[in-house]
């Protein structure tokens, strides 16, 4: 084990997979200069043929990645969540259904590493958290790490997958440190992790929301015993782990940095109501971004974003709900 932050852990995953598989190629805006931190030292080690800077043209970047994935390469594009829609057709729409529309005869081993959800008051262009958008395209796999170890393992798994994968790295987690396994490390898709055991309320979260949920759970102890389920991937989704947790606690709070409406918060709330209704002793509570355009400026952004305090309020609300006979 080695202590690394999340960016360092992703860098380690990229380095090892590029060493293991010569078909892995990285490209994007400014990655030779280590714009996002995750490509540090890779240009010196693997050269300009595999670490490729691109023009500021998201549709061209997505088109190149798709073409490379269809012709024997395993490209990884690093970008920002606010820029995805600029290359929507090539990066999201086409890769999501290419295998199906071609009769399953082709694979699209294309990874998009998305830096998103900055919480730095930068507005929609740099602060967008795109989980809800990506969920609308079921052909995409979506990984959402909350720890450096999971970041390394999920990126490695993504690079070995034959379907298009989005790894959404919340930028507020870039500097978070933790123990990371040395050498090869993979985390399987579709397997959630119970980060904290509890008996009274389940919080279902991922990425930065998991960190906030754990802080809220610590604050609420011993008044409320909170179980925190970290999804780790949104598609495939580990339904059994979260439903087992809700069946045990009888109460659920679902948290995500994307909007409460139309995203993973709404989807999981509906899932719990459909599949665990008989276990519920209170309505499912949703904690997410207000359904408004993301404002610029720290004060304005904080007013519409989920927080530790809003999670605590939601947990208390469901914990004190009185059942009506």
- Alpha-carbon distance of 190 to 254, in angstroms, equals 18
Is 126 catalytic? The answer is yes
For residues 292 and 127, the answer to whether their CB atoms sit within 8 Å is: no
Q: Find how far residue 316's CA is from the centre of its chain.
A: 26
Q: DSSP per residue over 175-236, as a string?
A: T-EEEE-SS-----TT--EEEE--SSEEEEE-HHHHHHHHHHHHHHTTTS-EEEEE-SEEES
- Alpha-carbon distance of 158 to 131, in angstroms, equals 17
Strands (E) in the chain, as ranges, are: 2-5, 24-28, 51-53, 74-80, 111-116, 141-143, 165-170, 177-180, 193-196, 201-205, 226-230, 233-235, 252-259, 285-289
Cα–Cα nearest to 132, from 256, 253, 239, 241: 256
Catalytic residue among 93, 102, 126, 185: 126
Q: Using CB atoms within 10 Å of the CB of residue 178, give its burial: 0 to 12 exposed, 13 to 18 middle, 19+ buried.
A: middle
Q: What is the DSSP letter of 91?
A: I
Output the six-digit token pair for 19. 């060493």
Q: How many other C-beta atoms can be found within 10 angstroms of the C-beta atom of residue 153? A: 23
- Alpha-carbon distance of 80 to 117, in angstroms, equals 9
- Alpha-carbon distance of 315 to 317, in angstroms, equals 5
- Alpha-carbon distance of 223 to 217, in angstroms, equals 10
- Alpha-carbon distance of 22 to 159, in angstroms, equals 12
Return the active site residues.
126
């Amino acid at each position: 084990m080695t202590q690394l932050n999340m960016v360092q852990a992703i860098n380690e995953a990229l380095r090892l997979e590029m060493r293991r598989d010569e078909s892995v190629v990285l490209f994007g805006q400014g990655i030779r200069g280590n714009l996002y931190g995750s490509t540090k030292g890779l240009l010196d080690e693997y050269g300009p043929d595999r670490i490729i800077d691109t023009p500021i043209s998201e549709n061209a970047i997505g088109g190149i990645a798709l073409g490379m994935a269809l012709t024997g390469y395993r490209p990884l594009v690093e970008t920002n969540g606010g820029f995805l829609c600029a290359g929507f057709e090539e990066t999201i729409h086409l890769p999501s259904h290419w295998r199906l529309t071609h009769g399953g005869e082709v694979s699209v081993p294309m990874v998009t590493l998305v830096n998103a959800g900055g919480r730095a008051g930068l507005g929609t262009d740099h602060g967008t958290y795109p989980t809800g958008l990506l969920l609308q395209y079921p052909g995409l796999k979506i990984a959402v790490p909350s720890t450096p170890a999971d970041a390394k393992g999920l990126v490695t798994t993504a690079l070995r997958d034959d379907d298009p994968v989005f790894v959404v790295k919340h930028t507020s987690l870039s500097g978070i440190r933790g123990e990371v396994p040395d050498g090869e490390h993979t985390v399987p898709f579709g397997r959630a992790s119970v980060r904290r055991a509890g008996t009274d309320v389940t919080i279902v979260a991922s990425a930065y929301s998991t960190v906030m949920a754990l802080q809220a759970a610590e604050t609420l102890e011993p008044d409320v015993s909170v179980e925190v389920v970290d999804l780790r991937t949104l598609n495939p989704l580990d339904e059994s782990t979260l439903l087992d947790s809700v069946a045990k606690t009888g109460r659920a709070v679902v948290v995500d940095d994307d909007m409460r409406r139309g995203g993973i918060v709404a989807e999981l709330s509906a899932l719990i109501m459909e599949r665990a209704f008989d276990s519920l002793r209170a309505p499912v509570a949703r904690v997410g971004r207000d359904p408004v355009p993301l404002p610029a400026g720290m004060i304005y952004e904080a007013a519409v974003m989920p927080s530790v305090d809003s999670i605590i309020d939601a947990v208390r609300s469901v914990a004190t709900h009185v059942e009506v006979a």
